[in-house]
Structure 1
Amino acid sequence: MPVSTKSKKSAAPTDVVSATPFVSTTEAVVPGSAKLKQAILRHLTYTLARDVHTATPRDWWIATAMAVRESILARLIATQGVHNDQNVRRLYYLSLEYLMGRLTENNVYNTDHFDDVVTALKELGIEFNEIREQEVDMGLGNGGLGRLAACFLDSLATLDYPAIGYGIHYEFGLFKQEFVNGHQVEHPDSWMIFGTPWEVLRPEYAVTIQIYGQVENVFDDLGNYRPRWVNTKSVMGVPYDIPIAGYGTKTVNLLRLWASRSTEEFDLAAFNSGGYVDAVREKVVGETISKVLYPNDKTENGKELRLVQQYFFVACSLRDIIRRHFRNDDKGNTWDNFSDKVAVQLNDTHPAVAVPELMRILLDEENFQWDKAWAIVTRVFGYTNHTLLPEALEKWSVPLFGRVLPRHLQIIFEINKQLMVVVAAKWPGDVDKMRICSIIDEGGAKAVRMANLSVVGSHAVNGVAALHTELLKKDLFPEFDALYPGKFQNKTNGITPRRWLLDCNPRLSALITKTLGHTKWAKDLDELRGLEKVAGDAAFQKEFMAIKRANKVDLAAVIKAECGIDVSPDALFDVQIKRLHEYKRQHLNLLHILALYRRLLQNPALDIVPRVFVFAAKAAPGYDLAKNIIRAINMIGAKINNDARIGGKLKVAFLPNYRVSLAERIIPAADLSEQISTAGKEASGTGNMKLALNGALTIGTLDGANVEIGEEVGDENIFIFGMTVEQVEALNAKGYNPWDFYNADEELKAIVDWLGSNFFTPGENQPFGHVHHSLLGGGDPYMVLADFRSYSDAHAKVDAMYRHTAQWAKSAILNTARVGKFSSDRTIREYAEKIWSLPSVKV
Structure 2
Amino acid sequence: MPTPAKAKKAASKAAKKKTKGFNFDIGYDAESLKTSILNHLRFSLARDVKGATTRDWWLATCYAVKDRILDRYMKTQAKHNNENTRRVYYLSLEYLMGRLMENNLVSAGVYDVTREALEELGQDFDDIINEEVDMGLGNGGLGRLAACFLDSLATLEYPAIGYGIHYEFGLFRQEFVNGHQVEHPDNWLQKGTPWQINRPEYQVEVPIYGHVEYHFNSKGDWYPLWVNTQSIIGMPWDIPIVGYGANTVNFLRLWESRASNEFDLEAFNRGGYTEAVRDKAVSETISKVLYPNDKSESGKELRLVQQYFFVACSLHDIIRRYKNLNEGWGDFPSKVAVQLNDTHPAIAVPELMRILVDEEEMDWDDAWAICRNVFGYTNHTLLPEALEKWSVPLFQKVLPRHLQIIFEINRRFLEDEVEAHWPGDNSKKSALSIIEEGHPKMVRMAYLAVVASNSINGVAALHTELLKKNLFHDFDELYPGRFNNKTNGITPRRFLKVCNPALSELIAEKVGEDWPTNLDKLTGLAKFADDKAFQKRFMQIKRDNKVRLAATIEVLCGVTVNPDALFDVQIKRLHEYKRQHLLLLHILARYREILHNPDKPIVPRVIIFGAKAAPGYDLAKNIILAINKIGKTINEDPRVGDKLKVVFLPNYRVSLAEQIVPAADLSEQISTAGKEASGTGNMKLSLNGALTIGTLDGANVEIKEEVGDENIFIFGMTVDEVEKLRSSGYNPWDFYNENPELKAIVDWMASDTFTPGEPFALEPVRRSLLDGGDPFFVLADYAAYAEAQKKVDECFLDQERWARMAILNSAHMGKFSSDRTIHEYARDIWKLESLPVEK
The separation in 2 between residues aligned to 1:689 and 1:86, in whole angstroms, is 37
The separation in 2 between residues aligned to 1:503 and 1:250, in whole angstroms, is 19
Aligned to 1:85: 82
Aligned to 1:505: 500
The separation in 2 between residues aligned to 1:314 and 1:268, in whole angstroms, is 31
Aligned to 1:149: 146
Residue aligned with 2:344, SS: coil
Q: Are the counterparts in 1 of residues 96 and 140 from structure 2 also a CA contact under 8 Å?
A: yes
AA of the residue aligned to 2:304: L
In the TM superposition, what is the alpha-carbon distance from 1:27 to its structure 2 partner? 11
In the TM superposition, what is the alpha-carbon distance from 1:276 to its structure 2 partner? 1.3
Aligned to 1:18: none
Are 1:689 and 2:686 an aligned pair? no
In the TM superposition, what is the alpha-carbon distance from 1:408 to its structure 2 partner? 0.2
In the TM superposition, what is the alpha-carbon distance from 1:763 to its structure 2 partner? 1.2
The separation in 1 between residues aligned to 2:470 and 2:424, in whole angstroms, is 22
The separation in 1 between residues aligned to 2:40 and 2:427, in whole angstroms, is 66
AA of the residue aligned to 2:495: W
Aligned to 1:17: none
Runs (4+) off by over 2 Å:
none
Aligned to 2:119: 122
Of 567, 574, 583, the match for 2:561 = 567
The separation in 1 between residues aligned to 2:267 and 2:190, in whole angstroms, is 29
Q: Deviations over 1:454-513 (max 9, x none)?
A: 000100000000000000000000000001111100000000000000000011111111
AA of the residue aligned to 1:436: A
Residue aligned with 1:208, SS: strand
Aligned to 2:246: 249
TM-score of the superposed pair, with normalisation by structure 2:
0.96
Q: Are the counterparts in 1 of residues 496 and 688 from structure 2 also a CA contact under 8 Å?
A: yes
Residue aligned with 1:336, SS: coil
Aligned to 2:41: 44
Aligned to 2:224: 227
Are 1:432 and 2:427 an aligned pair? yes
Residue aligned with 2:527, SS: helix
Aligned to 1:461: 456
The separation in 2 between residues aligned to 1:467 and 1:196, in whole angstroms, is 40
Are 1:515 and 2:510 an aligned pair? yes
AA of the residue aligned to 1:448: V
Of 680, 700, 704, the match for 1:706 = 700
In the TM superposition, what is the alpha-carbon distance from 1:535 to its structure 2 partner? 1.0
In the TM superposition, what is the alpha-carbon distance from 1:435 to its structure 2 partner? 1.2
In the TM superposition, what is the alpha-carbon distance from 1:431 to its structure 2 partner? 2.0
Aligned to 1:735: 729
In the TM superposition, what is the alpha-carbon distance from 1:272 to its structure 2 partner? 2.5
Of 478, 484, 490, the match for 1:483 = 478
Of 341, 346, 369, the match for 1:352 = 346
In the TM superposition, what is the alpha-carbon distance from 1:715 to its structure 2 partner? 0.5
Q: Are the counterparts in 1 of residues 380 and 459 from structure 2 also a CA contact under 8 Å?
A: yes
Aligned to 1:168: 165
Are 1:593 and 2:590 an aligned pair? no
The separation in 1 between residues aligned to 2:311 and 2:587, in whole angstroms, is 45
Q: Are the counterparts in 1 of residues 28 and 110 from structure 2 also a CA contact under 8 Å?
A: no
Q: Deviations over 1:716-746 (max 9, x none)?
A: 1100000000000100110111001001100
AA of the residue aligned to 2:62: A
Residue aligned with 1:227, SS: strand
The separation in 1 between residues aligned to 2:226 and 2:439, in whole angstroms, is 29
Aligned to 1:56: 53
Which structure 2 residues correspond to residues 437-836 of structure 1 after superposition, within 5 A?
A: 437-516=432-511, 518-836=512-830
In the TM superposition, what is the alpha-carbon distance from 1:225 to its structure 2 partner? 2.3
In the TM superposition, what is the alpha-carbon distance from 1:273 to its structure 2 partner? 2.2
In the TM superposition, what is the alpha-carbon distance from 1:275 to its structure 2 partner? 1.4
AA of the residue aligned to 2:821: T
Aligned to 2:292: 295
Residue aligned with 1:645, SS: coil
The separation in 2 between residues aligned to 1:699 and 1:767, in whole angstroms, is 30
In the TM superposition, what is the alpha-carbon distance from 1:444 to its structure 2 partner? 3.6
Residue aligned with 2:215, SS: coil
Q: For structure 1, which runs of at least 5 residues remain unmatched after alignment?
A: 1-25
Q: Deviations over 1:793-820 (max 9, x none)?
A: 0000000000001000010001001010
Residue aligned with 1:196, SS: coil
Which structure 2 residues correspond to residues 253-264 of structure 1 after superposition, within 5 A?
A: 253-264=250-261
The separation in 1 between residues aligned to 2:634 and 2:759, in whole angstroms, is 20
The separation in 2 between residues aligned to 1:162 and 1:31, in whole angstroms, is 25
The separation in 1 between residues aligned to 2:556 and 2:24, in whole angstroms, is 42
In the TM superposition, what is the alpha-carbon distance from 1:436 to its structure 2 partner? 1.2
Residue aligned with 1:335, SS: coil
Q: Deviations over 1:528-573 (max 9, x none)?
A: 1110111110000000000000000000000000000000000000
The separation in 2 between residues aligned to 1:606 and 1:468, in whole angstroms, is 42
Q: Are the counterparts in 1 of residues 569 and 664 from structure 2 also a CA contact under 8 Å?
A: yes
The separation in 2 between residues aligned to 1:202 and 1:519, in whole angstroms, is 38
In the TM superposition, what is the alpha-carbon distance from 1:419 to its structure 2 partner? 1.2
AA of the residue aligned to 1:613: I
Residue aligned with 2:600, SS: coil
The separation in 2 between residues aligned to 1:338 and 1:84, in whole angstroms, is 15
Q: Deviations over 1:53-81 (max 9, x none)?
A: 11111111111110010110010000000
The separation in 2 between residues aligned to 1:319 and 1:31, in whole angstroms, is 37
Number of aligned positions between the proteins = 814
Of 305, 316, 321, the match for 1:319 = 316
In the TM superposition, what is the alpha-carbon distance from 1:28 to its structure 2 partner? 4.5
The separation in 2 between residues aligned to 1:285 and 1:755, in whole angstroms, is 45
The separation in 1 between residues aligned to 2:807 and 2:256, in whole angstroms, is 45
In the TM superposition, what is the alpha-carbon distance from 1:646 to its structure 2 partner? 2.0
Which structure 2 residues correspond to residues 242-391 of structure 1 after superposition, within 5 A?
A: 242-329=239-326, 333-391=327-385
Are 1:136 and 2:133 an aligned pair? yes
Q: Are the counterparts in 1 of residues 393 and 440 from structure 2 also a CA contact under 8 Å?
A: no
In the TM superposition, what is the alpha-carbon distance from 1:251 to its structure 2 partner? 0.3
The separation in 1 between residues aligned to 2:521 and 2:124, in whole angstroms, is 32
The separation in 1 between residues aligned to 2:153 and 2:543, in whole angstroms, is 34
Q: Deviations over 1:767-814 (max 9, x none)?
A: 112211110000000000000000000000000000001000010001
In the TM superposition, what is the alpha-carbon distance from 1:350 to its structure 2 partner? 0.2
In the TM superposition, what is the alpha-carbon distance from 1:217 to its structure 2 partner? 1.9
The separation in 2 between residues aligned to 1:334 and 1:167, in whole angstroms, is 27
Q: For structure 2, which runs of at least 5 residues remain unmatched after alignment?
A: 1-22
Residue aligned with 2:234, SS: strand
The range that moved more, 358-367 or 216-225, is: 216-225
The separation in 2 between residues aligned to 1:347 and 1:30, in whole angstroms, is 38
Of 383, 400, 404, the match for 1:406 = 400
Q: Percent identity?
A: 68
Q: Are the counterparts in 1 of residues 239 and 252 from structure 2 also a CA contact under 8 Å?
A: yes
Are 1:217 and 2:211 an aligned pair? no
The separation in 1 between residues aligned to 2:388 and 2:525, in whole angstroms, is 44
Q: Are the counterparts in 1 of residues 95 and 137 from structure 2 also a CA contact under 8 Å?
A: yes
Q: Are the counterparts in 1 of residues 258 and 280 from structure 2 also a CA contact under 8 Å?
A: yes
AA of the residue aligned to 1:464: V
AA of the residue aligned to 2:268: F
In the TM superposition, what is the alpha-carbon distance from 1:31 to its structure 2 partner? 2.8
Tell me how large the CA RMSD over aligned residues is: 1.0
Q: Deviations over 1:8-41 (max 9, x none)?
A: xxxxxxxxxxxxxxxxxx9952230011110000
TM-score of the superposed pair, with normalisation by structure 1:
0.96
Aligned to 1:6: none
In the TM superposition, what is the alpha-carbon distance from 1:755 to its structure 2 partner? 1.3
AA of the residue aligned to 1:152: F
Q: Deviations over 1:644-700 (max 9, x none)?
A: 112320000000000000000000000000000000000000000000000000000
Aligned to 2:197: 200
